[in-house]
Amino acid sequence: MGKYFGTDGFRGEANIDLTVEHAYKVGRFLGWYFGKDHKASIVIGKDTRRSSYMFEYALASGLTASGADACLLHVTTTPSVSYVVRTENFDCGIMISASHNPYYDNGIKVINGQGQKLESEIEEQIENYIDQEEPKVPFAIGKDIGRTIDFSAGRNRYIGHLISIPTRSFKNIRVGLDCSNGSSFSIAKSVFDAVGAKTYVISNNPDGTNINKDCGSTHIEALQQFVRDNQLDVGFAYDGDADRCIAVDEKGEVVDGDMIMFICGKYLKEQGRLDQNTIVTTIMSNLGLYKACDREGIRYEKTAVGDRHVCENMMANGYSLGGEQSGHIIFSKHASTGDGILTSLMVMEVILEKKTSLHTLAKEITIYPQCLKNVKVADKKAAKENSAVKKAIAEVKQSLGGEGRILVRESGTEPVIRVMVEAAEDALCETCVDQVIEVMRQENLIISD
């Protein structure tokens, strides 16, 4: 993780940690870097945060000042930017979003020409450029100055791509969608309506400050209640930029990313479409997923947390399915990044082809209780490497044996340590997590907000 760029781009509170000057410089560098031997063309998308408009113009100013053309998708999803970049031959793409974070945060995600996260070495060069007192990137002059171009047609082609994926009509299926007051509000319902579903939508009225607020994939209880109240067959919740999807079955019970990977993985294996019979997970995936995969004879690999690492593993080894518990799911046949709307379509394929309910499909995997707490610290590395903390972690690990696990890791986007325990009972999980956090407190590693 660099000075500015973490596991999911350059993220922080708008105009405090991430400023318009930062955005302008990112645009200046990218326009110059990709335009060394031709006129660069770079596509920009944004979510519904109030600050996204500000950053869009700052980035476009930097790009055009360096001679690149900036093509604007306007409000759209992260996976749509990825799709457009790789299918329309753009040099790279930029998504302005802080994903599931509150509205006052924002982020800049740069996507390479293959529709994947930008290479770390280029991110490092951007950081070096940002910190230069006298940046050495020339301004374009005369006819070499770039243009801004409306490119809403690219978003429409992405919608067409999604509509083309289902092989069966969703006719008479009652589907609930929680758009998180985010960028899926203008896309998801159109897709489900087009393939015949009876679509019911909540949290699809963004006002610039309500993105992810008590809704979406990180506040799934809103969709659970909506599905129950309206007796829907299934529900899907997205995050602010719609690269995540969490499902809700007809009983209003949550089906998270691990469960979705198992349901889709087993189905693809039965269809002979699970390449190398392998699912790519992260170290945060639930123990229950691995036990279910073992039972079904499905192999799995574990990467560091972050869909970047999942994607890199998948592309390097030719795997077709991977993802995270949080709902970042990658189906490499159709996309090169996590795509929440695509994920919901793939879950619908399993439901329709197997002629059963999501609740029945989900019963085949037993998820272990899990407790995850975030601890704000001054120095993430020092907190994790503290000898007393390491001793506490070892004691918890020994007490759990083979029927549970503990994972302590640094956040890639926030100044926090994440302490997670899985065990047979909720109370045991929390006790073990608190045991480690208490040691951190005694060692004066924790800071208050």
**Which residues are designated catalytic?**
99
Q: Give the SS3 label for residue 206.
A: coil
**At which residue do the structure tokens 């408009």 appear?**
53
Query: How far does Cα 21 stand from its chain's mean position?
Result: 26
Strands 41-46 and 69-75, how do they pair?
parallel
**Region at 226 (left for phi over 0; alpha for psi -120 to 50; beta for the rest):** alpha
Cβ neighbors of 62 (< 8 A, separation 6 or more) are 23, 24, 25, 26, 27, 28, 29, 30, 31
Q: Binding site for Mg(2+): which residues?
A: 99, 239, 241, 243
Cβ neighbors of 238 (< 8 A, separation 6 or more) are 177, 178, 179, 180, 182, 184, 188, 216, 217, 244, 245, 340, 341
Q: Binding site: which residues?
A: 99, 239, 241, 243
Tell me the CB-side half-sphere exposure of residue 189, using CA atoms within 13 A. Answer: 18
List the structure tokens of 151: 């490119």
What is the C-alpha to C-alpha distance for residues 38 and 448, in angstroms, rounded to an integer? 50
List the structure tokens of 200: 């019911």
What is the C-alpha to C-alpha distance for residues 408 and 393, in angstroms, rounded to an integer? 8
Phi and psi, residue 281, nearest 5°: -120, 180
Instruction: For the beta carbon of residue 297, count every other beta carbon within 10 angstroms.
Output: 9
Strands 329-331 and 321-323, how do they pair?
antiparallel
Instruction: For the beta carbon of residue 339, count every other beta carbon within 10 angstroms.
Output: 29
List the structure tokens of 426: 């909720």
